[in-house]
């Protein structure tokens, strides 16, 4: 599990492409030396396992399903990526609960400066947009963001200066792909609603609807 709070930016130093996947070697001295084989690290929000490491770099293997669902197959040598190590039970959950299981790909549609902040609009597969709500949580390239507005096939989020300075979302331009993971709890509620196992009345009784909606 992760929080969506990026620890550091890594640099892709080597890519080995095989018949069924890619082997990625990423430079990140601040966390690579402390890693161990078998540990989980989110790379642009996709949970991968450390298979080798030294004081400067660690290496991961991405299989066909990961490459199909994420932008890791688009990475090139020299590109920067967001990195977050797995959550420890003693850590503060500063972002939101993130599994590192990417649901699909979106793209940056536009960026609008708002003082030191920026408002970004992202495209989204419609089935993922259905799971989003304004003021809800979304992980974009592994970054925990709050949804501002959501439409049938897009959503927006406001990025603070710290996010702009310390994640790939600060320099990716319109047209760039991003990994999307919708909120874990929203997934389960949406699935139950689709199957008719949860009704608006039940949500109201359990507190998932606002007081105004309940009255």
- What are the extents of the domains in the chain? 8-85, 104-184, 185-215
Architecture of domain 8-85: Beta Barrel (2.40)
Residue-by-residue DSSP string for 34-67: T--TT-EEEETTEEEEEEEE-SSEEEEEE-HHHH
Q: Which of 121-135, 176-190, 193-207 has the highest mean pLDDT?
A: 121-135
The Cα-based distances of 25 to 48, 75, 79, 83, 200 in angstroms read 12, 11, 11, 13, 48
| Rounded-to-integer distance, Cα 185 and Cα 187, Å | 5
Q: pTM of the predicted model, to two decimals?
A: 0.86
Q: Quick check: 56 and 27 in contact, CB under 8 A?
A: yes
CATH class of the region 104-184: mainly beta
In terms of C-beta density within 10 A (0-12 exposed, 13-18 middle, 19 or more buried), how is residue 165 classed?
exposed
Q: What pLDDT, on a 0 to 100 scale, did the predictor assign at position 127? A: 92
Please provide the average confidence, as pLDDT, over all residues in the chain: 90
pLDDT of residue 213: 39
Angstrom distances, CA of residue 1 to CA of 41, 50, 98: 10, 15, 6
% of the chain surpassing 70 pLDDT:
90
As a whole number of angstroms, the distance between CA 58 and CA 7 comes to 15
Check residue 70 and report its DSSP letter: S
Residue 202: the pLDDT is 59
Residues 38, 165: Cα–Cα separation, whole Å: 30
Between the alpha carbon of residue 89 and those of residues 8, 33, 113, 198, the distances in Å are: 20, 21, 37, 31
Indicate if the pLDDT at residue 101 is higher than 60.
yes
How would you classify the pairing of strands 104-114 and 137-140?
unpaired
């Amino acid at each position: 599990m992760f929080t969506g709070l990026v620890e550091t930016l890594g640099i892709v130093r080597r890519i080995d492409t095989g018949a069924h996947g890619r082997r990625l070697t990423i430079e990140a001295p601040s966390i690579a030396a402390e890693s161990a084989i078998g540990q989980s690290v989110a790379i642009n929000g996709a949970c991968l396992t450390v298979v080798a490491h030294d004081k400067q770099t660690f290496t991961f293997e991405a299989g066909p399903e990961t490459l199909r669902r994420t932008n890791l197959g688009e990475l090139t040598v020299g590109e920067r990526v967001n990195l977050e190590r797995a959550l420890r039970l003693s850590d503060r959950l500063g972002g939101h609960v993130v599994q590192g299981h990417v649901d699909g790909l979106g793209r940056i549609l536009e960026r609008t400066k708002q003082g030191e902040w920026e408002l970004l609009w992202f495209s989204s597969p419609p089935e993922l947009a259905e799971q989003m709500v304004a003021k809800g949580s979304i992980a974009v390239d592994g970054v925990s963001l709050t949804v501002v507005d959501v439409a049938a096939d897009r959503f927006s989020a406001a990025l603070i200066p710290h996010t702009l300075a310390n994640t790939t979302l600060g320099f990716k331009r319109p047209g760039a792909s991003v990994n999307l993971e919708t909120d874990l709890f929203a997934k389960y509620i949406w699935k139950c609603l689709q199957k008719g196992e949860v009704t608006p009345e039940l949500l109201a009784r359990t507190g998932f609807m606002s007081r105004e909606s309940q009255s």
